[in-house]
Structure formats: C-alpha cells, structure tokens
Amino acid sequence: MTPRPQTPSQTIGPFFHVAITSPGPVTVGGGDGPLLHGRVLDGAGVGVGDSLVEVWDGVHFGRCHTDPEGWFSFLLPVPSTPNSDQPPYLAVSVFARGLLGRLMTRCYLPANEAAHAADPLLRSLPDDLKATLLADADGDALRFDIHLQGERETVFLAV
C-alpha cells in the first residue's frame, strides 16, 4: 500500500518537540518502579515521531514526546492499586498529527490473572482486543505499543 501524501493539517503541527525537549525516559513520581517503553505506530506500522504520550496512575503524571521512530519511555513509580478490586493500570493519552483531539486508553501493568479477570473493562473485551491494553515484559522493562489504527489498533476509550 502506497502512503498517501500528508494533508495541510498534518504538516502544520503538532510541535511538541519545541516545548518538551527530552524524549525520555521521563520520571513519573519517584521513578523507583519499572521502565515502561513502547512506540506510537500508524496503521502501516510506522513509528509516529511527532506525537506526545501522557500517563497518569491516579497520583503521578508524566508527559513524553516520541523520538523520530515513535519511541517513548517512562520510569514509573512502584505500581499501586488505589482500589484493591482493580489491577494496576495507567490512564494514557496520545496526541499526534492528524488527530483533532487526544486519544485515551489504558495500559494495564502486570498483575495476577484473577485481578485482570475481575476488571470491568478487560472483562468486557474479547481476548484479541484485551491484549492491546496489556503491557508485556521486555527484559527488565515493560513494553506497551500504541497502534493508532489498523489490524492491531489499540482499544481507545470514549470519555
């Protein structure tokens, strides 16, 4: 599939790299927990190098722009569960070219299967869609890729 040329609204901005000069890793809270890294990918699987990713665990907030290949990274605090009925997760926002507003999703951190099975959002999704919200072990770090569209599109939330 041949990529289409960019429209004027896609070439005018965003300019996240001007205001946020370090692509990461960004320390969130104490940053004494795991490294979370991943890529923002378009429908063709190409990294989106001019996007911005925000994470929030209910207490701590972090913001990171992607590098030219779409990579972002955060040093997270030790995961906690404010509500013991829920597994630890991050609220994630994505801003990128071609989007009129931000996209919202969740990144679930590793937890026992019972905690994931009890979560209302995860329980409502088929396994293939549920997998788009789960961070995977990647050596000593966690990997969470965000697919903006396509076959492996991340589940985004209407808020």
CATH number at residue 138: 2.60.130.10
pTM for the predicted model, two decimal places: 0.85
Assigned domain for 137 exists: yes
Rounded Cα distance between 32 and 151, Å, is 35
Model confidence at 30, pLDDT cuts 50, 70, 90, reads confident
- Total of domains in the chain: 1
Which domain does 136 fall in, by range? 8-147
Assigned domain for 17 exists: yes
pLDDT at site 148: 96
Assigned domain for 113 exists: yes
| 121 has a pLDDT exceeding 90 | yes
Assigned domain for 157 exists: no
pLDDT at site 78: 83
Assigned domain for 152 exists: no
Q: Which amino acid is at 40?
A: V
Assigned domain for 114 exists: yes
Mean pLDDT (whole number) for 49-70 = 92
Assigned domain for 1 exists: no
The closest alpha carbon to 130, from 150, 106, 158, 111, belongs to 106
Assigned domain for 100 exists: yes
User: What is the three-state SS of the chain?
Assistant: CCCCCCCHHHHHCCCHHHHCCCCCCEECCCCCCCEEEEEEECCCCCECCCCEEEEECCCCEEEEECCCCCEEEEECCCCCCCCCCCCCEEEEEEECCCCCCCEEEEEECCCCHHHHHHCHHHHCCCHHHHHHHECEEECCEEECCEECCCCCCCCCECC
